[in-house]
Amino acid sequence: MNTLTRRGFFSRSIEGGAGLIPFRSGVAAPAKRVSKMRFGFTSYQWGSDWDVPTTIANCTKAKAFGVELRTSSNYAHGVELSLPDAQRREVKKRFADSPVKLVGIASGERFDWPDPAKLNAAIESAKGHVKLSQDVGGSGVRVFPNDFQKDVPQEKTIEQISRALNILGKYAADFGQQIRLENHGSLGTSLVALRKVMDGVDQPNVRIKLNGSLQKGEDFAQGFQLVKKFLGDTLHFHELNRGDFPYQLQSDLLMDIGWAGWWLLETSTKVPDRLQALIEQRGMWEGLIAKSRSR
């Protein structure tokens, strides 16, 4: 009879355990999520009185290495449709010589006008912004959908916006520009409605720009699934220490699909030091992204 002594038991246990070590050490640790998302800034409203050199200097200090310039508001940067060619080249060179990328132009043009003359004027103005963006080194132009109109069937407004975007998208393609349709207004804050707009768009350079807006009663996660294949390379977000938009969820969802775009901070609160506030928002954004990575 083979008697197992206590010493023998422990010896065999160690030998058996040793045999398991290579197996256990060979199990790969879960891969960490990698974020391709970047932090940037749009000049509305904290940058309203910053000229181009000041914008570049402040964004460099805040490590906001992507900038979108708001037009049609007489901001100090002066990048408007009226800007002469020589000054357009100067703006392009200033950004090219800096660590800050000029991501594009934020126009205020909208395509919900029931008046055909106003709609055509908006399309033509947006075309001018496309040329402006190319001239200053940008890659796209922000536009609005924007609202459903009284006494106009909703489907008619949606079809009208889709047609306008197809005209503009086709034009912008010749300039290597993206048309960034922001989810803005009573129509645009509904991702369900925005999906309907995009279903009528056949130009691949027309993309959706999220804006930290959500129509009351809509579930963001469900809406995100509807529009994720149409997302462009920029979004707007508002101050992370106010409001109740689910930015953490948005970050998680974007990281899950490998989105590699710019989060452009769009701000309107009154603060004593805008540069310091921009730096603080950068820190909060980094925390948001870190949480998404560590899930």
Which tens digits make up the pLDDT trace of 98-149?
999 999 999 999 999 999 999 999 999 999 999 999 999 999 999 999 999 9
Mean pLDDT (the chain) is 91
Question: Is position 106 within any domain?
Answer: yes
- Quote the percentage of the chain above a pLDDT of 70: 89
Alpha carbon distance 208, 191 (integer Å): 10
Question: Is position 149 within any domain?
Answer: yes
Question: Is position 147 within any domain?
Answer: yes
What is the pLDDT, as a whole number, of residue 16? 41
Question: Does the predicted TM-score (pTM) go above 0.85?
Answer: yes
What is the pLDDT, as a whole number, of residue 26? 53
Q: Which residues of the chain have pLDDT under 70?
A: 1-31
Question: Is position 145 within any domain?
Answer: yes
Which tens digits make up the pLDDT trace of 10-34?
344 434 444 443 434 455 555 678 9
Question: Is position 173 within any domain?
Answer: yes
What is the pLDDT, as a whole number, of residue 28? 56
CATH code of 179's domain: 3.20.20.150
Q: In the β-sheet with 101-110, what is the strand arrangement from edge to edge?
A: 206-209, 178-182, 140-144, 101-110, 66-70, 38-42, 262-265, 234-237
Spatial contact of 95 and 102, defined as CB atoms under 8 Å apart: yes
Q: What is the largest CA-CA distance in the chain?
A: 104
Question: Is position 2 within any domain?
Answer: no
Owning domain of residue 121: 36-293
What is the pLDDT, as a whole number, of residue 32? 76
Question: Is position 20 within any domain?
Answer: no
Spatial contact of 121 and 107, defined as CB atoms under 8 Å apart: no
Question: Is position 43 within any domain?
Answer: yes
- Quote the percentage of the chain above a pLDDT of 90: 87
Q: How many domains does the chain have?
A: 1
